[in-house]
Amino acid sequence: WAEQELLNLTDNITVTKLALPDLPSSDKHAELLRKAWQTGMLQYESRKFNDNVYLSYISKPDIKRKRELLKIFIVKWILLTNRSYRRLNLLKSRYIKIICKKSYYKKCLEELESQKPALLFCTHQRAINAIAPLEAAKKLGIPTACFIYSWDNLSKATLFVDSDYYLVWSEYMKQELLTYHPEIRSENIFITGTPQFAPYFNDNLKIGHGQFADKFNLPKNRRWICFSGDDTKTSPHDPVYLKQLAEAVRSWNNKEQNQLHILFR
């Protein structure tokens, strides 16, 4: 449905799905530079805004593994001389240059040269694999645009791609983008709202309670509780919460006639 929604939103535009080559294996040197850039940016923002919350966004490695400890040491060593915003951006440039030396970048270049699109659009600024095609497009003079995917992405130093234009949810997010990345020009940022949520307002996608129950073999005579899980970093105690909810529902169902049923997403 996502592709159909995109086509509905772009009735007067030809949208082509490019057949890009298979993704390459990660480059250890590039990954270390990317990790150093992201860690350094969060440390820089913590100093700039005098707020330690940015430090909590730095991913915690598994220190029991020697390889992870070595990565921590290398990242810290890199950041000894790369603490300013300018130096951190140079790190990002080095990371992008490494990617542009890979065969994947060259294949993206060939595909884009063949297709000659008027614009290359990236739907997620965290998409590391989108760096090569975006850089290839720039090399060919093809304009590029990137959508800031989620409301909290900018504060967590996740602008891994560089594009000519940026699409944001709101005026507030536009100001965030200008605050965290002052090199971006205001006139290159466009407020579009949140089109990825458009399907939720599409009545054609709705199905009735009974039809939904039949499709997923769910009990129609029970009231449903939807438990929406998250990843281990955002909500590490989800298993505990789900277990407690299940125990409470089981206890309720043993005593009450109005039965409950948990749907875990």
Domain match, 125 and 52 both: no
Domain match, 93 and 110 both: no
Instruction: Please give the backbone phi and psi of residue 255, each rounded to the nearest 5 degrees, phi first.
Output: -115, -30
**Domain termination site, one of 166, 195, 224:** 195
Domain match, 35 and 80 both: yes
Q: Rounded to the nearest 5 degrees, what angle is found at the Cα of 137, between the Cα atoms of 97 and 38?
A: 40
Is residue 245 situated within a structural domain?
yes
Q: How confident is the model at residue 251 (pLDDT cuts 50, 70, 90)?
A: very high
Q: How confident is the model at residue 65 (pLDDT cuts 50, 70, 90)?
A: confident
Average pLDDT over residues 10-18: 66
Q: Specify the pTM.
A: 0.81
Q: Is the pLDDT of residue 205 over 50?
A: yes
Q: Measured between alpha carbons, how far is 253 from 248 in angstroms, rounded to an integer? A: 9
Query: Residue 55 carries which DSSP code?
Result: G
**Domain termination site, one of 73, 98, 123:** 98
**Of 149, 145, 141, 106, residue with least CA distance to 125:** 149
Each residue of 120-129: pLDDT tens digit?
A: 999 989 888 8
Pairing of strands 260-264, 189-191: unpaired
Q: Rounded to the nearest 5 degrees, what angle is found at the Cα of 93, between the Cα atoms of 61 and 189?
A: 95
Q: Which domain holds residue 227?
A: 207-264
Domain match, 170 and 222 both: no
Q: In which residue are the tokens 């250890």 written?
A: 28
Q: Measured between alpha carbons, how far is 249 from 240 in angstroms, rounded to an integer? A: 14
Each residue of 108-150: pLDDT tens digit?
A: 999 999 999 999 999 989 888 899 999 999 999 999 999 999 9
The residues that bridge with 189 in the sheet, in sequence order, are 166
